[in-house]
Structure 1
Amino acid sequence: MPLGALTGGLVGQCAGRSTFSLREDNLWAHHLIEEARMWEYEHSVETTVTPEAIWRLWADVENWGAWNAEIEKIEIDGPFGKGARITMTPPGDDPVELRVTEAVEGELFVDEARFGDLLLRTLHRIDPVGRDRVRVVYRMEITGAGADEAGPQIGPGITADWPDTMAALIELARR
């Protein structure tokens, strides 16, 4: 349920923005907002590529570098699915530990990374949009203490390559 619906419309939010407005006299809404501060970003692409072709590439973690230029090295600790741990090293950077928290074959997977009090949650989803068409969606949510400040600082750098990465994923899935 959207945050605005939970607070009776007192809260305004949009993707990539972490500022909120509320009536000063509503302490309940203020408490809810303090608990729900986040930074979010979503990018999607429509395609005729089959969900199975996209899923095959997602599940083949050790070859993510073939379609994601921001991966220098990647390892997974077992089969791709809920509970799997992935170590991903961006070029010239330290390794990032990811945990797959949800995986539904042919539909979606969610990975999470923790950095202190921050939780970076990325949803990768395939939505049917019509006959022989799907929408591939990537959505990042950064939550936790300081997310309203840290999110706008780190989020855009993390998600900047998503349009190119998703285009490469779709192109490889067509083959």
Structure 2
Amino acid sequence: MYVISEEAVISGAIASIWQAATDVAHWADWDPHEEKARIDGPFAPGTKGWVKPKGAPAGPFTITAVDEGGSWTSEAGIPFGKIRGHYTYTPVGEGAVRVVKRMEIHGPFRPIFRLIWEKGIRSDMHLSFAALEQEAQRRRAADAAHA
């Protein structure tokens, strides 16, 4: 197994961050890493989806675990292996949330993944964290305007 993990502390309400992070149908609207995405049911274990990351092939994924408001895990197949993504959201103070994205690469594709995509994935993670922060703030402002 090969692991790529990054984290950041972003500002925003945990509820707004969770809402944006788990709204698969709208990932491509705000996340610079995603071109297209969909989910074929509720955001719950066993639900399947499909994603097309920028610079990588499209493919299906399955949500394997959800701790509502705190974390979720998904798995996607790659040739002779799989990628497991684990995403954690932890409040660390008033209006601040630690976001952790951990990608585990299983199978013989590990060395290729490390050589070709690691640097880009790490920088994309931080771009996605910043975009998540902005999207969560946009959603919170929109909710306040409609209240």
Say whether the fold is shared (TM-score over 0.5): yes
Deviations 1:5-44 (A, max 9, x none): xxxxxxxxxxxxxxxxxxxxxxxxxxxxxxxxx2212111
Distance 2:105 2:123 in 1: 15
| Alignment-derived partner of residue 115 in structure 2 | 153
How far did residue 47 of structure 1 move? 2.6
Identity within the alignment, %: 32
Paired residues of 2:79 and 2:109 also in contact (CA < 8 A): no
TM-score normalised over the length of structure 1: 0.69
Residue in structure 1 matching 2:4, options 14, 20, 41: 41
**CA distance 1:164–1:92, shift in 2 (3 Å):** closer
Paired residues of 2:45 and 2:65 also in contact (CA < 8 A): yes
> Matched residue of 2:34: which SS?
coil
How far did residue 87 of structure 1 move? 0.7
**CA distance 1:119–1:45, shift in 2 (3 Å):** same
> Matched residue of 1:81: which SS?
coil
Unaligned runs of 5+ in 1: 1-37
Paired residues of 1:39 and 1:155 also in contact (CA < 8 A): no
Residue in structure 2 matching 1:126, options 69, 89, 107: 89
| Alignment-derived partner of residue 79 in structure 1 | 42
1:1-175 superposed matches below 5 A: 38-91=1-54, 94-147=57-110, 149-156=111-118, 157-175=120-138
Number of residue equivalences: 137
- For the pair shown, the structure with the greater C-alpha radius of gyration is 1
**CA distance 1:121–1:155, shift in 2 (3 Å):** farther
Deviations 1:109-141 (A, max 9, x none): 111111122221111101232344320111111
> Matched residue of 2:32: which SS?
coil
Structure scoring higher RCO (CA < 8 A, sep ≥ 6) equals: 2
User: Which has the larger strand fraction?
Assistant: 2
Deviations 1:57-98 (A, max 9, x none): 122111011221232221111111111111112347542211
Paired residues of 2:39 and 2:48 also in contact (CA < 8 A): yes
